[in-house]
Chains A and B, each alone.
Chain A
Amino acid sequence: MFKILKYSFYDLMRSKWSYFYFLFYLLLGFLLLFLNNDVSKGIITLLNIVVVLVPLIGTIFGIMYFYNAREFTTLLLAQPIKRSHIFLGQFLGVGGSLTLCLVLGLGIPFVLYGLLRSGAIWDFSLLLVVGACLTLIFTALAFNVALGNTNRIKGFGYAVLLWLFLAIVYDGLFLLSLLIFEEYPLDTYALIGSMANPIDLSRILILLKLDISVLLGYTGAVFKSFFGTSKGLIIALIILVLWIVIPVRLMVWQGNKKDF
C-alpha cells in the first residue's frame, strides 16, 4: 500500500497541476494579507474559499487522477496486491498531495505575515484542519463516483453535480424547509440538517470561532448548549472524521466487488 501511495504521491508532486494549485494558494494568501494586512480578517475571507473551492478542487483532482491512472490501475490489479491497498494508496496519494499544497500554500504567507505572534493562530489551524478534511472527503467521494462510472464524461459530470449539490443546492433546500416549517421547533432539525452536509459542517466549525456572538444570541437551548460549550466543537470534528471514514470504506467496498 505504501509503495502505491508513494508512487501516486510523487507522481502528483511532479505534475504541473499540483504546482498550479500550490501557487494559487500561495498567491491568494499573500494577496489577502497584502490587501487586508490583518490576519484575523483574512481568515474570514479564507473561510469562503476553503468551504467552496477546496471541495471543488478535491473533486476534480480526484476524478481526473482516477481516470488518467486507469491503465496503470488495471496493470496493478493483475499483480498479487490486495485491491483495497491499491485504491487506498491512490486515494491517500491524491488526498495527501492536495492537503500538502493547501497547508503550505496558505501557511507560508500567513506565517510570514506574523501569524505566530497573533492570536488568530488557533482559528487558522482549525481552518487548515477543516480544509484538509474537506480535501479528503471530496477526493473519496470523487473516487466513489469514478468507480461507479466507466464513462469518463458521465463520471466527471456526476462528480461536479455532487459538488454543486452539496455546496449550493443543499443549502437552498435546507433554507426552504426551515422557512416552510417555521411554526415548529426547529433547532434540533437545523443542527442535524447541517451535520448531514460536510460543507455546512465545516462552515459551522469555523463559525464557532468567528461569529460566536451572533450564534449565542439565538434563543434555542439546543443551540446554546451546542455552540456555547466545547461540546459543539468536539461533536462537529467527530462527524467530520466520520465523513472521511464512511466514503473511504464505501470506496474500498466498491473497489473490491467491481469487475474490471
Chain B
Amino acid sequence: MSYKWAIGCILFGIAFVQAETIRVCSSCTYTSIKDAVLIAKPYDTVLVENGIYKEINIWIDKPLTLEGLDLPVIDGEDRGEIITIVSDDVQLSGFLIRNVGTSYTADYAAVRVIKSKNFTIENLQLEQLFFGIYLEKSDHGKVINNRIIGDAVEEFNSGNGIHLWYSNHVEVLNNRIEKVRDGIYLEFSDNILIRNNKSLNNVRYGLHFMFSNEDSYEENLFENNGAGVAVMFSKNIRMTDNTFRNNWGPTSYGLLLKEIYDAEIKNNRFIKNTIGINVEGSNRIRYQQNDFINNGWALKVTGGCYSNMFEENNFLSNSFDISYNGQLNDNKFDGNYWSNYTGYDLDKDGIGDVPYRPVKLFSYIVNRTPETIILLRSLFMDLINFSERVSPVFTPDNLIDARPQMQQI
C-alpha cells in the first residue's frame, strides 16, 4: 500500500520536474502563442510577455498553464473565436483580449471551454467582444477577477459576458461585466456559485438563469441593466446579500422571477428600481430581511403564486409597496416594516395594533390605466386610498400584514 503511494509520489515528482516553462515574446524562440501552445507538453507553462499578438483560434488541447506577463494583448481583429480550451486542468490568466468577431451563425467567444474540467480563468480583460467567456458542458471550474467591457447596443447582435451552458459546479467570483447583452447567463447549469461580481449597464439582464437549479448568488451588484436579474424556470436558487440598483424602464425590474420554485431571497437591497421584484407563477419562495428603498413598485405579484412567505422585510419610501393581481392564495405577509404604515402601538410590543394593507386602490387603478400615474401623490388619490383602506372593495381584503413592525428591521 505504502509503496504504491511512494511510486505515485515519484511519478508525480517526475511529472512536476519535467514541466517546462515556454516563453513567448517578439524576440523569443516563439513569437506566436499558437506555436508555443502547439509545442508545449502537458502540464507545461506558457508565459507570454507584454506585446500585441494578432491571433485567433488558439486551441488548447492539453493540460496547460497559459499566463500573460504585464497584460499582453491578443487582438482577434474581428475575425473569430480567440482561445478555445478542450482539455482538463487548463489555467488561463493575465491577458487583454479584444476584437472578437461577430457572427450570426456561430457564437464566437473570447474564451471558450468545451467539455473540460478543473479550469481556471483569471485576471482577463475582454474588450470589443461578442461572447466573453463561454463554458460549454464544462464542470468544476473557476472564473475569477475578470473585467469584461462590451459595446452592446441591441439585443439581437450582441453576446453574453459569461455564458454557462450545461456546466455544473462552477465558481464565478469577483468579475466586473459591463455593456454586454446578459452579464452572466446560465442555462442548464447546476450548483453554480456566483459571488461578489459587478454587472452594470447591460442591455438585457445583469444575471440570467434558465433551467438551472441548486445555484446561489451572493454579494453581487446589479446596476442600470435592462433588468437586474432574471430567474426563470429554475429550482432551489439562493439569492443573498445582493444589491439591485437603478434598473429603470417600462420592462425594468430589479429581480424578475418566472416559474421559480423553492427559492430563498434574503438580505438583498433593492434601490430605485422601476419594479423591485416582479413575481410570476412562482411557488414556495421565502423573502426575508430584504430592503426595498425608493422603488416605483417594491413588489409586483402577478398570477398563480402559491405558498410564498414575505417576512421581516423593510419597505421604505416606495411609490407603491405592492401591486397584486388576482387572489392572495396562501401567500403570507408577516412582520414586515412599512414606512407608509400609519397605525399605532398601544401595548408597546413593537408590533402595530392595526393590520397594514399594502395594496392601495391607486395601485389597482394604475394597473388598469397606466396614464393615471400622473396623479401620483395628489390629495384626491390620498382621499380615495383612505376610503378604500377603511372599507376594501377593489383590493383583496385578506391581503394584510397582521404584525407590521413599528421600527425598521
Contacts and interface: CB of A to CB of B under 8 A. Distances in A.
The answer to whether A and B come from one shared complex is yes
Interface of A: 41, 44, 47-48, 51-52, 167-168, 171-172, 174-175, 178-179, 182, 186-187, 189-191, 193-194, 200, 203-204, 207, 211-220, 223-224
A178 B377 CA distance: 17
11 contacts: A171-B375, A171-B379, A175-B372, A178-B372, A189-B371, A190-B372, A193-B374, A214-B274, A214-B297, A217-B252, A217-B296
B379 A190 contact: no
Given A213-B272, A213-B296, A217-B275, A172 B371 contact: no
Contact of A171 (B250, B296, B380): B380
Interface string B364-387: 010011111111111111110000
B369 A186 contact: yes
Interface in B275-307: 275, 294-297
Interface of B: 248-250, 252, 272-275, 294-297, 317, 319-320, 339, 365, 368-383
A203 B378 contact: yes
A167 B381 CA distance: 11
Given A48-B379, A213-B272, A218 B370 contact: yes
Contacts of A193: 374
Contact of B378 (A179, A200, A217): A200
Given A213-B274, A213-B294, A216-B248, A207 B377 contact: yes
A189 B319 CA distance: 23
A168 B381 CA distance: 9
A219 B296 CA distance: 13
Contacts of B373: 214-215, 218
Contacts of A224: 250
Contact of A214 (B319, B378, B380): B319
Contact of B370 (A167, A211, A220): A220
Nearest to B246: A213
A175 B296 contact: no
A182 B371 CA distance: 9
B89 to A, nearest CB: 47
Contacts of A218: 250, 370-371, 373
A211 B376 CA distance: 9
A207 B296 CA distance: 12
Contacts of A214: 274, 295-297, 319-320, 373, 376
Nearest to A184: B371
B371 A174 contact: no
Given A178-B369, A217-B248, A190 B296 contact: no
A215 to B, nearest CB: 7
B370 A172 contact: no
Contacts of A217: 248-250, 252, 274-275, 296-297
A218 B25 CA distance: 56
Contact of A172 (B250, B369, B374, B380): B380
B374 A41 contact: no
A98 B317 CA distance: 31
Nearest to B275: A217
Contacts of B375: 171, 174-175, 194, 200
Contacts of A172: 380
A179 B365 CA distance: 9
Contacts of A44: 317, 377
Nearest to A194: B374
Nearest to A188: B371
A216 B249 contact: yes
Contacts of B250: 217-219, 224
B318 to A, nearest CB: 8
A193 B372 CA distance: 11
Nearest to B296: A214
Nearest to B250: A219
Identify the interface centre among B250, B252, B371, B383: most chain A CB within 10 Å of its CB: B371
Given A179-B372, A191-B374, A220-B371, A213 B248 contact: yes
